Amino acid sequence: MSPALPPRIALYERTVAGSLAGVWENVHDWEHLPWLHASSFASIALLDSGDWGWRARVDLPAGPELEIELRKRDGEQAYDVTTHSGPGVGSVIATRLAPTGPDTTHVEVGFHIPGIGNDAAAGVGAGFVSLYTRLWDEDEGMIIARAEAETHDAPPVSQSLQADLGPRSEFGLPVSFELGGRRFHAAEVGGQPVAWAAACPHRHGPLPDTPDSEGCVLCPWHGYRFDVRSGRSADERNLFLGRAPTLTVGDDGHLRARLGPDR
- pLDDT tens per residue, range 12-54: 999 999 999 999 999 999 999 999 999 999 999 999 999 999 9
Confidence of residue 262 (pLDDT cuts 50, 70, 90): confident
Strongest mean pLDDT among 55-59, 113-117, 249-253: 55-59
Q: Are residues 91 and 201 in the same domain?
A: no
Final residue in a domain of this structure, among 150, 176, 191: 150
Q: Are residues 137 and 189 in the same domain?
A: no
Q: What are residue 246's DSSP bridge partners? A: 258
Q: Are residues 179 and 105 in the same domain?
A: no
CATH number at residue 247: 2.102.10.10
User: How much is the mean pLDDT over the chain?
Assistant: 93
Asked, for residue 1, whether it belongs to a domain, the answer is: no
**How many structural domains are present in the chain?**
2
pLDDT score at 16: 98
Q: Are residues 27 and 132 in the same domain?
A: yes
- Find the mean pLDDT for residues 114-125: 94
**Residue 237 scores a pLDDT above 90:** yes
CATH number at residue 14: 3.30.530.20
- Find the mean pLDDT for residues 50-60: 97
> 145-172 pLDDT, tens per residue?
999 987 766 777 878 899 998 888 877 7
Final residue in a domain of this structure, among 88, 116, 150: 150
Q: What residue numbers bound the domain in which 166 lies?
A: 161-259
Asked, for residue 192, whether it belongs to a domain, the answer is: yes
**pTM over 0.75, yes/no:** yes
